[in-house]
Amino acid sequence: MPAIDVAGEFETIRRLFAPLAHPEWGRGLLDDVAVVPSKPGFDLVLTKDTIVEGVHFLPTDPLDTVAQKLLRVNLSDLAAKGAEAFGYLLSCGWSERCGWPEREAFAQGLARDQKAFGVALLGGDTVVTPGPATFSLTLMGWTPKGRAVSRGGAQPGDLVFVTGHIGDGWLGLEAVQDKTSLDMERVAALVEHYRRPVPCTDFLLPVRDMATASIDVSDGLIADLGHLASASRVAVDIDLELTPLSGAAQAWFEGRVDPQAALEKLVTGGDDYEIAFTANPRDEPALRREADRRHLRLTCLGRVTAGKGVTARFGGEPVAFETSGFTHG
């Protein structure tokens, strides 16, 4: 049976999404385009992510958190480039479970995050589907001309850093599926991270100013460092025992009988949305000052060397991973 559109495309746009539109550039969502004035001396930076029910979020996840996760994973991409986001295009493929209350919740989640992160809706599309709910978002931002940080600038001798904590995304998925025995407070923190990860937008300016190469940690720390190493045509050598863990992840880790295997899970699980980047050692003191000013944890995991690929060590010995992280197919 085909999905039923509970309100119609234009009613959904008028009632839910027009209030989210940029007051000038979005044209009230009454046109087929958005018009964004150019900024002399700046580059337009764009990113796009799609999330699918049953693949990137669970059928039981509230749709307000689904909307927020969709926006935040894109914000994480731009933050890793040193870009300041301003607006986005949205595509909604509503499934049969997406009645009017669910659509309202989705729009309310976007409204909260638009205010928190200073972005606005510019346009998009909304359809119904007999398949799983599918949402796609294209986020746009600015950097000063030529300053967007790529994956390809790492040099031998650079240090390898990561912001925040690693492993909470994978543990959050375990928690939301009742696969962990942690106390309720820690489970709640992990579920919150899984459903509403916090992109590291506060650190985008230091990344822009001092990183030689950068990537957001979405597929897993090892996989994403591998992407960076490949683009830069270098090797990355890190110490697994330096992996920064949150309080909840540390509590889970302390209960494991095989610490190496536990760390392997945390660094390949993905959905962390931190920034992994490389920088010249001379910039480490300034990077740490900037992190301290923002009350942000910053960890040096290792170093860039000549060669290729990622070498992760535990107890000084290289670790062989069965998988380096999530793949999208």
Binding-site entries for Mg(2+)? 32, 47, 49, 77, 125, 216, 219
**Helices 63-80, 184-195: crossing angle, 10 deg rounding:** 70
Helix intervals (H) in 118-183: 168-176
Nearest Cα residue to 98 out of 225, 7, 201, 229: 7
92 with 126: CB under 8 angstroms? yes
Task: Find, among 95, 56, 61, the residue nearest to 74 by Cα.
Answer: 56
Structure tokens at 299: 């960890």
Question: How would you list the strands of the sheet with 211-216, edge to edge?
Answer: 211-216, 275-279, 159-163, 298-305, 235-239, 309-314, 317-318
**For residue 49, what are its two tokens?**
């992510």
Q: Which residues belong to the annotated binding site?
A: 32, 47, 49, 56, 77, 124-125, 151, 216, 218-219, 271, 326
Give CA 259 to chain center in angstroms: 26
- Known binding residues for ATP are 124-125, 151, 218
What is the DSSP code string of 226-264? HHHHHHHT-EEEEEGGG----HHHHHHHHT-S-HHHHHH
Output phi, psi for 116, to 5 deg. -70, -35
Report how far apart the first and last C-alpha atoms of the chain are (Å, whole number).
28
Residues listed for the chain: 329
